[in-house]
Each structure stands twice: as C-alpha cells, then as structure tokens.
Amino acid sequence: MNFVKNYNRNWNLNRNFLIKKIKPKFIVGILAGLIISLILSFIENELLKNISFISFGILSLIFVIYSGLKRKWLNLIIGLFAFVSFFSKLNHYPYANVLKLLIAIPIVCFILTLRKKEKHENELSILIILFTYELTEFIKLT
C-alpha cells in the first residue's frame, strides 16, 4: 500500500513538473505531440514508426518557429539542430554524419539554458526531450 502512495505522489510531481507549470497551451500541445511520437516509436509497426518520425520532425520545426518568434535563441538552436538531424535522415544526405558532429553545439546550448532555467521554465520539458534526442544522435556517432 505504501508503494502505491509513493507511486501516486511521484506521478503527481512528474505531471506537475511537465505540464502544470507551462503557461502557453501551445507549448503543452507541442510537448504532448513529442511525447506521443516518442511512445509511438517503440511500437513495432513500421507505419507507426514512420508517423512518429515525421511528427517529431514537424513538431521540432514548429518549436523552432515558436522560439524564433519569441526571440529565445538558445531554444531555437536546440530545436534547429533536432530538425536538421531529422531532415538529413529523411532525405538520406550523404554527409549527415558531418552534421552530427555539430550536435555538440546544442548540447552546450542546453547546458547554458540550465544555468538560466527560470528564463526557460516553460520550454524546459521540450528542451529535455530534444536534448536527449540530440545526445543519443551524438553517442551513436562515436
């Protein structure tokens, strides 16, 4: 019984951290789409994997546009590299691995956003998802 109480308490903390603190509902929509595309990528159906891959790219592009309009340049760089990585995979560019070497730039940008996390509080959950994607791409390269 104690386990259930702790699990519910942890779930409420995670839910509050991810969604409740986010002010613009537009960001909540992007976050929900990224979470759904992440979950769909684990399903063994090829069609669902393609849908999750394309939706991840489209949502990262939408986040880039949003960050550009709000003039949050570090967020824009992180989202732009996620979109460029998606686009190079989609089109099978021959020099995509050279682009993956540049993924160290958004990793540094993410560390800089963590230093000023109060300023980036609304977008932090999206940035964590994009950062983990970029970090896995960088680790695959090495």
DSSP the chain: -HHHHHHHHHHHHHHIIIIIT---HHHHHHHHHHHHHHHHTTSS-HHHHHHHHHHHHHHHHHHHHHHHHTT-HHHHHHHHHHHHHHHHHHTT-TTHHHHHHTTHHHHHHHHHHHHTTTTTTTTHHHHHHHHHHHHHHHHHH-
Q: Read off the pLDDT of residues 32-72 as tens digits, 9 standing for 90 and up.
A: 999 999 898 888 899 999 999 999 999 999 999 999 998 98
User: What is the total count of domains within the chain?
Assistant: 1
Q: How confident is residue 13, by pLDDT bands cut at 50, 70 and 90? A: very low
Domain span including residue 31: 2-141
Question: Model-level pTM?
Answer: 0.79
* Identity of residue 5: K
